[in-house]
Amino acid sequence: MSSDKTTRQQKAQVPTSNSPVVRVPSRGIAKNTELQLYVHAGGRCEFDGCNAYLLSHHLTHAEGNFAQMAHIVAFKPDGPRGKEAPRPANINDVENLMLLCHRCHKLIDDHPEDYTRATLEQYKSAHEARIFRLTDIKPDRKTTVVQLKARIGGHIVSIPAPDVNEAVSPRYPTDTRGYVIDLTNIHGDGDAFYEAAMQTIKHEVERLYAPGMEIEQTRHISLFALAPMPLLIYLGSQLSNKVAVDPYQRHRDTEDWAWKTDGDPVGYTFNFLREGTDRSKVALLLSLSGKIHLDNLPRDIDGAFNIYEITLGGSTPNPIYLRLKQDLTDFRDVYQQALRKIMHDHVALGEIHLLPAVPAPVAVLCGRELLPKVDPALLVYDSDKKNNGFQPILRVN
């Protein structure tokens, strides 16, 4: 190269005082920005539903960096989403980058009409919020998952591990399968079935609290229980009040177990429905999942009985009303008030005939909130269509 040519090139690279400086963006992403992106994404693909871990090979598990940093608004205006205004002032800013696996990167760039800027920004925001929430869990957030499994209508319902993880967050289970109380091998539906099931529950709960078991470290139970109503109440009566228990509800509309966060608490009312001729006879109706009508009571709850009711305050009883954790807390309060009121009005009461139409977590609380040496026993009924309505099944407390 001649010296004259070199001089001309050098002059072209130095702007004059009257010429604006044109800054051409670089494809190179700053190391600090790259670090922020990997941390915000948790090392996982941010495409909605993918979540692939990108720092090891998906088959061999060999460690390595298999991630790609993708621009939401393309580096060049003629690239995918490149013309979506306004373009970022810094095209390589972390807010305009997503961490993706190569398959998801190719998908969004091959189909920008399906994966718009707004869509990808929503994916990124939701993914990074979830990663932040999960990594904010502290060591005292451990929980022991306990499952009670029984045949419901002849079927066994399994709870997938992801459903458990989602439900208990921000706690985390030491084992997603957890401690299983399995009643599925006990067949029948009469007295022999309930006797065997109660013995199994009692034995397994005693073992759960035995010295050296996991519960000594976690001091917390996340309970997922599906079983006939009387057995849920019996289970609640066996759970220690010295260890915190959070029962979970399977939501029929969304088919998951996580408590909802939208909407208002439903509220409850405690009512005195009918005065009986015998002060020592009391029935308590729990009309929550469905309405229990006085005309449909079994024959043994006759005119001698004083009848009380807990029902929903702001809506008609229905099987999907229990959505909020607050609804469970509010039931605990009104249930305790009801027991205290009944005992005040019926001194030395030996038992309460309990007719529940309630969700599973409420049934568990009915047993767990009993004070063993203070409250009367519960004679628990269950609705049986084969035998024309409610029948007494077992005694708790």
Q: Say what the pLDDT of residue 207 is.
A: 96
What's the pLDDT band for 1 if we cut at 50, 70, 90? very low
Encode pLDDT of 71-98 as tens digits: 999 999 999 999 988 999 999 999 999 9
pLDDT of residue 139: 61
Is the pLDDT at 21 greater than 50? The verdict is no
Q: Is the per-residue pLDDT at 135 higher than 70?
A: yes
The b/e string for 63-94 (b: 16+ C-beta within 10 A; e otherwise) is: eeebbbbbbbbbeeeeebbbeeeeeeeebbbb
Query: For residue 182, what pLDDT is reported?
Result: 95
**Half-sphere exposure at residue 192, Cβ-oriented, CA atoms within 13 angstroms:** 3
Omega cis (within 30) before 77: no
pTM here?
A: 0.69
Answer whether residue 7 shows pLDDT above 70. Answer: no
At residue 170, the pLDDT reads 87
Query: Residue holding tokens 């948790």?
Result: 42
As a residue count, the chain comes to 397
Burial (CB < 10 A; 0-12, 13-18, 19+), residue 20, is exposed
Share of the chain above pLDDT 90, in %: 75
Per-residue pLDDT, averaged over 294-321, amounts to 95
HSE-CB of 391 using CA atoms within 13 angstroms: 11
Measure the CA dihedral 261/263/269/273, to 10°: -110
Report pLDDT for 174: 86
Is the pLDDT at 384 greater than 90? The verdict is no
pLDDT digits (tens, 9 = 90+) for 201-251: 999 999 999 999 999 989 999 999 999 999 999 999 999 999 999 999 999
* pLDDT level of residue 44 (50, 70, 90 thresholds): very high
Higher pLDDT, 11 or 328: 328
**Following DSSP, what letter does each residue of 168-192 receive, concatenated?**
HTTSEES-SS-EEEE-TT---SSHH
> Residues 157-188: pLDDT tens digits?
788 888 999 999 888 898 767 899 999 999 87
pLDDT at 96: 96
| Three-state DSSP state, 44 | strand
What is the reported pLDDT for 180?
Answer: 94
pLDDT over 80 at 151, yes or no: yes
Residue 269: DSSP 8-state: E
Res 374 pLDDT > 50: yes
H/E/C letters for each residue in 105-165?
Answer: HHHHHHCCCCCCHHHHHHHHHHHHHHHHHHHCCCHHHEEEEEEEECCECCECCCCCHHHHH
pLDDT of residue 188: 77
- pLDDT of 290 higher than 80: yes
The answer to whether residue 16 scores a pLDDT higher than 70 is no
- Residue with the bigger pLDDT between 285 and 137: it is 285
- H-state helical runs in the chain: 3-13, 31-41, 102-110, 117-135, 161-168, 191-208, 215-218, 229-238, 325-345, 360-368
Please write the tens of the pLDDT for every residue from 95-130: 999 999 999 999 999 999 999 999 999 999 999 999
Mean pLDDT of the region 277-306: 96
Q: What pLDDT is attached to residue 389? A: 85
Q: What is the pLDDT of residue 5?
A: 40
Domains in the chain with CATH codes: 27-135 (no CATH), 139-248 (3.40.50), 268-396 (3.40.50)
Rounded Cα distance between 221 and 51, Å, is: 28
